[in-house]
Chain A
Amino acid sequence: MAKPVVEVDTLVKQYGQLRAVDGISFKVHEEEVFAFLGPNGAGKTTTVEILECIRPLTSGTARIFGYEVTRNSDVVEIKRRIGALPQEFSALDKLTVKENIELIGDMYEKHLDVMEIIKLLDLEDKTNEKFENLSGGLKQRVGVAAALVSDPQLIFLDEPTTGLDPKARRDVWAVITNLKKLGKTVFLTTHYMEEAQMLADRVAIINKGKIAAIGSPQELIAQYGGLKILKIRGGDEALAGLLQKKYDKVSLNSNGDILVKIDDAEEFWRVMATLTDMKVGRDIEIQTPTIEDVFLKITGGIITEEGELKQ
């Protein structure tokens, strides 16, 4: 087992009566991509900013590389070792891409070659472009470049794709995948289910300041995702009725598709055999549960595109 890079124990952040982070505990291991998935106001950014040493905690402990985030002498060591892309990243408008990355790099005792980072992030043709002239996606890539320039072991990416168009979002995903290949530890916060499922080795679902579930996407889906669904397109009530006599979990949706929930492979083949016997020659599709189903199961709601929780 890789050693833990982030260790959080019963962390609490209180604002007056509001408990933004409510006694959470988790670990992030070396070289893994760890995602904090939750709606707006769940406590994701608050937790990350406590770990980045820019927000004080109320109680509990948080360690990065074994250093305490509350101890002033440790804060310097932590800041030397982490890279960060804050939510809604921005830089000096009139400076170029290269100058902005250099500025962040110069804050460290040593940093990587800026042109190498620019190349890594595929920003070569924008090297001398002013930050103000970049699109949202390119600005985020500059933010990631700035997070990487000090060659950190741990990188915090706070909502890196929020507000980006689909293409820009895919570009950022490619960058994160690349970071994983480089052996970096990535702490990602997001409200996009697909993003967490696709990129993360482990996901912590956070809601109302508490971690509701934690594990790899596969583990979470297996535990909370529910059954696979066999969808028979263009079904009818007669066929649905016949299937209902043999199987318990059959329903007809509003599109006229018959949905059969199946527990395992054995049951799948049994249903297929029945359909063959009945000479049902229609399109058949298998739907696998996703993190979205997990989230729905755990919180009773879904997260909208804007990041709000909808019950």
Chain B
Amino acid sequence: MKAFTIFKAVTKNWIRSRSGLFFSILFPVLLLLVFGAIFSGIGGTAQYSLFVQNLDTNTSGQPTEISTAFIEALNSTETFAISDIPADANATEYVRDKLGPLGGNIRILVISKGFQDDLLNGTLKVRIGIIYDTVTYFEPYMTDKQNAAISQGLSQMQQLNASIPDTKASLTIMLDPADQSAAMVKSIVMSVVNAFNYELIGAENVVEFNEASVTTKRYSNVDFYIPGITAAFIMTNGIIALTATTTEFKRRGIIKRLSLTPLTKIDWVVGNVLCQTLLNLMLAGIMIALGWVVFNVRVIPDALSIALILLGSIMFSGMGMALSGFIKDVEAASAIGNAIAFPMMFLSGTYFPMEIMPSYLQTVSKALPLTYVSEGLKHAMIYQNPEGTYINMAIVAMLAVVFIIVGAIVTRWKEK
């Protein structure tokens, strides 16, 4: 079988190439380590920087008790790295100075003067209001004697409530619209404010909120990224690396030399596809093993996942061979490979969930081959859903056949 001879030769050539080894294996592994570190929280949880200016001070210039408690509540979320802004400083100028020339995200929370007093007054007003409303709610069900007994009290409550100033405790958050984390910061601060509000008025949770995993096993964030990253690098190895290598073989006349022998085009294409498939199986194995060792991931590739990795490799290698049939030089191969691979990587739900994309991009993502490898691997490795895997696998297998046939057709075995 000449395809096997080609497979042996190109594999040997690739294994002995340091740059080939780096870009095909080490680079994906490094990227996995970086992504893994981001999503696993190894080395400390990520924190958002937040500058807080507390203008609510007592007569001796010290922060009031409640404003201090609010800052502590923010701190207790362990989400913020809080820095103080002196009460007499211009908040934005102070933060700009602090961030220095390299900049950073400006996020300022200002606790207004009178925060504690307004909060106490507001709380009192709300609590009196609740008592008043509760009593009046039950008025129709009480006897005349009972109503007469409490009417005086209610009247006094109304008078007291009217005497309390109607001002709200004020917090101001200043965020940069260009700050991608602004929405997240705002949401966390609001959660703390709400919790503070409920605590002050003595409200208790009526609705209980529970969280459960959709998978039978308990997986970490990195577990969810492993199938996507594996699929993405199977794709880049096929579309970028194989296209560039084959184009280089063509430029240097290696393909021409082989075409002078009885070797057929299909043997050449299949030999190269087999080499990429072996490489991708190795890559997937290394990435999953690394996930186990470094990030303690729990995904275990079963026979279906391995079969899908095989089919995905064949499909993307076929795609690479098809592309190299149209491309003349290595620079163009690299540029075209990147132009196809990178949008596909970001639009196929590998790094970002498809749900956050506009509907037209979601439609585009359904036309991308990587979507089916990535989704299929998630079904196989995470959800343990064989049906979901089979559907994606069937699409990938069909595309693999199409790309190999196209690759064999467009590979130029003859000069013009």
Contact = CB atoms under 8 A, between A and B. Distances in A.
Tell me if chain B binds chain A. Answer: yes
Given A90-B253, A94-B13, A106 B2 contact: yes
Interface string A100-144: 000110111100000000000000000000100000000000000
Interface in B1-40: 2, 5, 9-10, 12-14, 16-17
Contacts of A106: 2, 5
Given A56-B414, A99-B9, A107 B253 contact: no
A150 B414 CA distance: 21
B252 interface: yes
Contact of A107 (B256, B258, B414, B415): B258
A95 B415 contact: no
Contacts of A92: 9-10, 12-13, 254
Decide if the interface of chain A is mainly helix, strand, loop or mixed: loop
A292 interface: no
A94 B17 contact: yes
A27 to B, nearest CB: 22
Interface in A229-272: none
Contacts of A130: 16
Given A54-B414, A54-B415, A55-B414, A146 B12 contact: no
Contacts of B17: 93-94
Interface stretch (A79-87, A194-202, A207-215, A301-309): A79-87
B51 interface: no
A88 interface: yes
A91 interface: yes
B261 A79 contact: yes
Interface string A136-167: 00000000001000100000000000000000
A68 interface: no
A150 B258 CA distance: 13
B391 interface: no
A109 to B, nearest CB: 8
B259 interface: yes
A55 B412 CA distance: 11
Contacts of A22: none
Contacts of A103: 5, 9
B316 interface: no
A280 interface: no
Contact of B262 (A89, A90, A107): A107
Nearest to B20: A94
A174 to B, nearest CB: 23
Contacts of A82: 260
A74 interface: no
Interface string B234-269: 000000000000000000111011111111000000
A90 B257 contact: yes
Looking at B13, B17, B253, B416, the one whose CB has the most chain A CB atoms below 10 A away is B13
Interface in B257-303: 257-263
A146 B253 contact: no
A93 B18 CA distance: 12
A49 interface: yes
A93 B262 contact: no
Nearest to A103: B9
Nearest to B267: A107
Interface centre among A80, A86, A88, A94 (most CB of B within 10 A): A94
Nearest to B252: A90
A52 B257 CA distance: 11
B253 A86 contact: yes
B13 A95 contact: yes
B257 A146 contact: yes
Given A55-B415, A88-B253, A90-B254, A95 B260 contact: no
B256 A79 contact: no
Contacts of B416: 15, 55
B262 A54 contact: no
Nearest to A106: B5
B225 interface: no
Contacts of A104: 257-258, 261
B90 to A, nearest CB: 64
28 contacts: A15-B416, A52-B260, A55-B414, A55-B416, A79-B260, A80-B262, A86-B253, A86-B257, A89-B257, A91-B257, A92-B9, A92-B10, A92-B12, A93-B13, A93-B17, A94-B16, A95-B13, A99-B9, A99-B12, A103-B9, A104-B261, A106-B5, A107-B5, A107-B261, A107-B262, A107-B263, A109-B262, A150-B261
Given A89-B257, A104-B257, 17 more contacts: A52-B260, A54-B415, A55-B416, A79-B262, A89-B253, A90-B257, A92-B12, A95-B12, A95-B16, A99-B9, A103-B5, A103-B9, A104-B258, A104-B261, A106-B2, A107-B262, A108-B261
Interface of A: 15, 49, 52, 54-56, 76, 79-80, 82, 84, 86-95, 99, 103-104, 106-109, 130, 146, 150
Interface of B: 2, 5, 9-10, 12-14, 16-17, 252-254, 256-263, 413-416
